[in-house]
Amino acid sequence: MERNSSLLAVMSRYFSRMARSCFLRFSSDYFKSIRENILDVAQKELYELYACHQSNIWFDYKEGPRKGRGGRVSSVYIFIYTRDYPKEGNGQPWKKGDEPLSPFEIYVEPQKHLTPYQRIRQSHWYKADMPSQEQVVEVLLRRYLHEDEVKYYLRQLSFMARKHADTYMQVIQVIEDKEKQPKFKNGTPAYKHNNIIYYVLKENLKAFGWSLEPMSSKKKPSRTIEQDLFGK
């Protein structure tokens, strides 16, 4: 870890100031070496610790503007993620084809004096019967997911609802909370699709002591219901 100490020191300094991103500049002659021997190594180590819950911080990065002859890289943007400010989507290091990086998910602060269980009792859907709540969940899921994914999650929820009466209300709450966030509102259909699966249903439901794993399938459809209806 010695070769990464300078980078981690920079991250710690920025993190202590509550910053969630920083910009590092260096000689373009050293970018390849910095990327392979410092950035990638430090990122891998921190991400593995974060994934194993042995660390509360990790980072992702992207190249800065290319300049000069041959388009050399002489800077990088570093994005810092924590448990309180996690990365959106699948929560893994960026790969080609992923959504553009952003410093952190914009967080909507809930009413601090209410627990998650108290908050669902304030919803106008709370007094509805369970079949009606199930229909609301189905409508919400169909906004963002593929048909087979909707059926998969409805089956899982039907099983959970036999044990917990508030199952559908809890799903309604986490999805509606996500829909209030500006970044989600402005996201692409693909971004919203992945966000609902990998963040809302898999992570946010843990506030109620349970969650839903993504559907396992070798072949997934390429279009969402929203895309089919509106040609997006």
- Contact by Cβ (8 Å): 74, 15: no
What pLDDT score does 92 carry? 66
What average pLDDT does range 170-193 have in this prediction? 91
What pLDDT score does 188 carry? 92
- Give the helix/strand (H/E) hosting 6: helix 5-16
What average pLDDT does range 134-150 have in this prediction? 94
What pLDDT score does 91 carry? 63
pLDDT, greater one: 21 or 46: 46
Q: Which of 54-68, 197-211, 214-228 shows the lowest per-residue confidence on average (mean pLDDT)?
A: 214-228
- Contact by Cβ (8 Å): 88, 195: yes
Q: Could you tell me which CATH number the domain at 2-82 has?
A: 1.10.10
Name, in order, each residue with C-beta under 8 angstroms of 16's C-beta and a sequence gap of 6 or more.
none
List, for residues 31-41, the tens digit of each pLDDT value: 888 888 888 88
Question: Band of the pLDDT at 206, cuts 50, 70, 90?
Answer: very high
Which stretch, 98-112, 117-131, 192-206, has highest mean pLDDT? 192-206
In the chain, % of residues over pLDDT 70: 72
For residue 217, what are the CA distances in angstroms to 117, 152, 194?
33, 11, 15
What pLDDT score does 171 carry? 95
Coil/strand/helix, residue 92 = coil
Structure tokens given for 29: 């002659």
- Rounded Cα distance between 110 and 122, Å, is 13
What average pLDDT does range 24-30 have in this prediction? 76
Name, in order, each residue with C-beta under 8 angstroms of 178's C-beta and a sequence gap of 6 or more.
184, 195, 196, 199, 200, 204
Which stretch, 51-55, 75-79, 117-121, 191-195, has highest mean pLDDT? 191-195
What average pLDDT does the chain have?
Answer: 78
**pTM for the whole structure:** 0.47
18: left (phi over 0), alpha (psi -120 to 50) or beta: left
CA contacts within 13 A on the Cβ side of 74:
11
pLDDT, greater one: 200 or 56: 200
- Sorted by where each begins, the domain ranges of the chain are 2-82, 116-230
89: left (phi over 0), alpha (psi -120 to 50) or beta: left
pLDDT, greater one: 214 or 58: 214
Residue with tokens 């279009």: 223
Share in percent of the chain as helix, strand, coil (round to 5): 50, 10, 40
Residue with tokens 């997911």: 145
List, for residues 55-113, the tens digit of each pLDDT value: 888 888 888 777 777 778 888 888 888 887 777 665 667 666 666 555 444 444 444 56
Its sign, for the CA torsion 58, 206, 198, 180, is negative
What pLDDT score does 21 carry? 65
